[in-house]
Amino acid sequence: MKIKYLLILFSFFSLIQSYSQNTYDIIFPDINRDQVCKQCIQIFNKKPKEVKFSIVRENNNLYFQVNNKQWFNLLFKNSGDGIAVDVIEKNRYDCSNESIVNEQIKGVLLKPVYSKKLRSGLKPSSENRFRVHVGRLSDTYLNKELEYNILFLSNKNLCSYYVIYDLESYPWELLDMGMYLDSLTYNIKQIKPVGKEGYILRYKTLKFQIPFEKNKSEYSQEDIRPIYDSLRLTDFNIKTINIKAYASIEGSLERNVELQEQRASSIAAALQTFQKPTIKTDISSSENWVEFLNDIQGTKHESLSQLSKEQVKGKLVGQLSTDLEPILKNHRKAILELELQKKDKYKDMTPEQLLGKFNTAIGVENITEALEIQNSIFEKLKNKEVSPDFLKKMEIPNQAKFVKIFNKNSAYRAMLDVRQSMIVYNELLKLDKLSPKNGEVKYNIAAIKLKLWRYKALEVNEIKLKGQINALKNYKIPTSLISRMMVNYHIIKSENYMRKGDYKNKDISVNYINGNYKNFQLSDYDYLSLAQFFSYYANNNMAVNLLENKAKSIDINENLLFYYLNLTLINKELTKNEDYRTIMLNAINMNKTRFCKLFNAVEDGGVTFQLLEDEYLRETYCENCEN
């Protein structure tokens, strides 16, 4: 079950009592709060950031869940120390309400539970998780959107009031180090943890943009030929095209989207005329609010950024539209991402024919041809036309001159099936003895060793491994790749320290990661994985800093953008910033349904509907999600 962790703290320094409901025996301190809450405040201030807690609902029962029993017992030490739950309904934030009344108790307060019952009732619920019953909901709450805030009591005094919100969770893992085949080869990884993973074999990706002329939707071969020729596709075919088409914001949304899809389809069709293999095409379209709001800043039109989208559209007619055309014309464009696949002159051969041709090439020591045939065999492996055991039929003498071929076979098997990692690791160690100065073999050994260490499949001397990674520079391995390995080295160390409860050394490794990931290029998958890593280790600021520049770009990956929103929506100062509105409108254009879902109840997949306490967020939500 997914754990919802408490992440927002509201502490009341001046408390205004609301007597419209039963508050039981809870005391709401005012001028003497610092004195009566001193012990509770100290315990929270000393709480390791790794200690997490939440409210979990099972049927009508509510449980307080925590991952640190020692801290729990410290917090609930005295007889008057306890917990009360404030049950909040989403209808409090209906867009029909003119404003939200700022009340101390936002919903219905359940009866407090104090130290004796809390300590005696705390039971293990799962690995390193403990929970205790803290309340029961009445049947009147059935089918209602609810959330549960926590009141922490010290000697019956309300000392802290917490709101729970939930971050969308993604699996994170080591940054992809790749493996050396012909050149460094990476896994194809999807940001969403769905679907099958494949591998890039002889592929490369190119990205560029095409401007759209106003009111033009058709593209011919002659329009696209300069782009196609610039790719010099003598050895490659276009395998896939991802087209993100953007319209300038004036005019009807429906017409803008329709026109952009026509333009994008026309581009894809024009490119298809240059080759026979079918190009897989993915097209999305939206209005370019991001660049519009960015580009009007500092101009006499910047006041438009304060208006709603419909108000802006209403003004962009006549002379104003003409005045803004020098800006708007730059917003009509398509961003193309092409994945290229090297042409395979052996693709029509059967596996047995390829094997015979490969063995012949090896026999006459034509290593260049053997490597090319080997890639064709890999394609058939990837397409499951043959099994990995087919590689054993390749007749390769155990000589140093053939190390590159051996290395490719081993590395590819490791990428094809992670369960082969230990076998491949031992094969690579033998290759290293056969050719002790081969940097590609040494790189592959270090990459697999890190993975085996991470999954506890291999005992590792950390000091020697660190030296082994740094020594790769002596074999012409790029420093950026070495830096990426060292970040992975510290990711594993931080995990191990965390497991031991050694938070000080864990933080040293996390700080190393934060200080060094800028030394190499990150894929979108790497960005999200690293941001999730920082969040998992309670370093949300690091995750925000990692993503903030990308969040402002028009072609940011959707999942990265929404993860950034998850991390930042609770920052009231940030949400009022004009740049933040640009980011939110970008998210709405990408996926309006997903944006609106952020404001669902935690139990219904949202961050929290209590974000709507923020009038600025509520205005954006009501404009886009409730009409």
pTM: 0.74
Round the average pLDDT of the chain to a whole number and report it: 86
Which among 534, 587, 531 is positioned nearest to 556, based on CA atoms? 587
Higher-pLDDT residue of 441 and 171 is 441
Residues 93, 44 share a domain? yes
Spatial contact of 231 and 241, defined as CB atoms under 8 Å apart? no
Residue 517 lies in a domain: no
- The yes-or-no verdict on residue 561 having pLDDT over 60 is yes
Residues 218, 258 share a domain? yes
Q: What is the pLDDT at residue 235?
A: 73
Residue 451 lies in a domain: yes
Phi-psi region of 24 (alpha: psi -120 to 50; beta: other; left: phi over 0): left
Q: What is the pLDDT at residue 517?
A: 94
- The yes-or-no verdict on residue 194 having pLDDT over 60 is no
Q: What is the pLDDT at residue 168?
A: 63
Residue 190 lies in a domain: yes
Residues 288, 422 share a domain? no
Q: What is the pLDDT at residue 18?
A: 43
Q: Which two tokens stand for residue 63?
A: 């449980």
The residues, ordered by sequence, that sit 6+ positions from 475 with a Cβ below 8 Å of its Cβ are 437, 438, 439, 442, 443
Helices marked H in 195-273 — which ranges?
221-231, 253-272
Residue 542 lies in a domain: no
Straight-line distance from the first to the last Cα atom of the chain, in angstroms, rounded to the nearest whole number? 34
Residues 463, 338 share a domain? no
Q: What is the pLDDT at residue 610?
A: 92
Phi-psi region of 244 (alpha: psi -120 to 50; beta: other; left: phi over 0): beta
- Domain boundary among the residues 131, 164, 197 is at 164
Residue 371 lies in a domain: no
- The yes-or-no verdict on residue 204 having pLDDT over 70 is no
Residues 136, 216 share a domain? no
∠ CA 192-198-200, rounded to 5°: 115
Whole-angstrom CA distances from 494 to 339, 374, 505, 533 are 35, 39, 7, 10
- Total structural domains within the chain: 3
Q: What is the pLDDT at residue 197?
A: 35
3-state helix, strand, coil in the chain (%, to 5): 50, 15, 35
Mean pLDDT of 121-143: 92
Mean pLDDT of 327-348: 87
Distance from C-alpha of 370 to C-alpha of 361, rounded to nearest angstrom: 5
- The yes-or-no verdict on residue 192 having pLDDT over 70 is no
Mean pLDDT of 72-99: 92
Distance from C-alpha of 62 to C-alpha of 34, rounded to nearest angstrom: 30
Q: What is the pLDDT at residue 559?
A: 85
Mean pLDDT of 467-480: 96
3-state secondary structure of 327: helix
Higher-pLDDT residue of 441 and 529 is 441
Q: How many other β-carbons are positioned within 10 Å of the β-carbon of residue 103?
A: 12
Q: What is the pLDDT at residue 581?
A: 83
Q: What is the pLDDT at residue 167?
A: 63
What Rg do the C-alpha atoms of the chain give, in angstroms? 29
Residue 564 lies in a domain: no
- The yes-or-no verdict on residue 9 having pLDDT over 90 is no
Q: Which two tokens stand for residue 470?
A: 């740094």
Spatial contact of 150 and 55, defined as CB atoms under 8 Å apart? yes
The full 3-state SS of 163-179, as one line of letters, equals: EECCCCCCCCCCCCCCE
Residues 141, 210 share a domain? no
Annotate 546-580 with DSSP letters as a single string: HHHHHHTSTT--HHHHHHHHHHHTT-HHHHTSHHH
- The yes-or-no verdict on residue 175 having pLDDT over 70 is yes
Residues 39, 97 share a domain? yes
Mean pLDDT of 125-144: 91
Higher-pLDDT residue of 548 and 5 is 548
Read off the pLDDT band of 8 (50, 70, 90): very low
- The yes-or-no verdict on residue 472 having pLDDT over 90 is yes
∠ CA 432-438-439, rounded to 5°: 110
Q: What is the dihedral of CA 549, 555, 557, 559, to 10 degrees?
A: 80
Distance from C-alpha of 27 to C-alpha of 615, rounded to nearest angstrom: 30
Residues 210, 152 share a domain? no
3-state secondary structure of 351: helix
Write out the residue range of the structural domain in which residue 147 sits: 6-164
Residues 150, 16 share a domain? yes
pLDDT digits (tens, 9 = 90+) for 231-287: 666 677 888 898 988 989 988 888 888 888 888 898 899 888 888 889 999 988 888
* Number of alpha carbons in the 13 Å side-chain half-sphere of residue 219: 27
- The yes-or-no verdict on residue 176 having pLDDT over 70 is yes
Q: What is the pLDDT at residue 463?
A: 96
Residue 76 lies in a domain: yes
pLDDT digits (tens, 9 = 90+) for 502-525: 989 999 999 999 999 999 988 888
Spatial contact of 78 and 119, defined as CB atoms under 8 Å apart? no
Residues 450, 321 share a domain? no
3-state secondary structure of 141: helix
- Domain boundary among the residues 433, 449, 477 is at 477
- Domain boundary among the residues 441, 462, 477 is at 477
3-state secondary structure of 601: coil
3-state secondary structure of 379: helix
Residues 125, 186 share a domain? no
Residue 620 lies in a domain: no
Spatial contact of 305 and 296, defined as CB atoms under 8 Å apart? yes
Q: What is the pLDDT at residue 169?
A: 59
pLDDT digits (tens, 9 = 90+) for 401-434: 999 999 999 998 888 888 889 999 999 999 999 9
Mean pLDDT of 113-135: 94
Stretch among 1-15, 226-240, 276-290, 463-477 having the lowest mean pLDDT: 1-15
Residues 207, 142 share a domain? no
Q: Which of 116-125, 500-509, 595-604 has the largest mean confidence?
A: 116-125
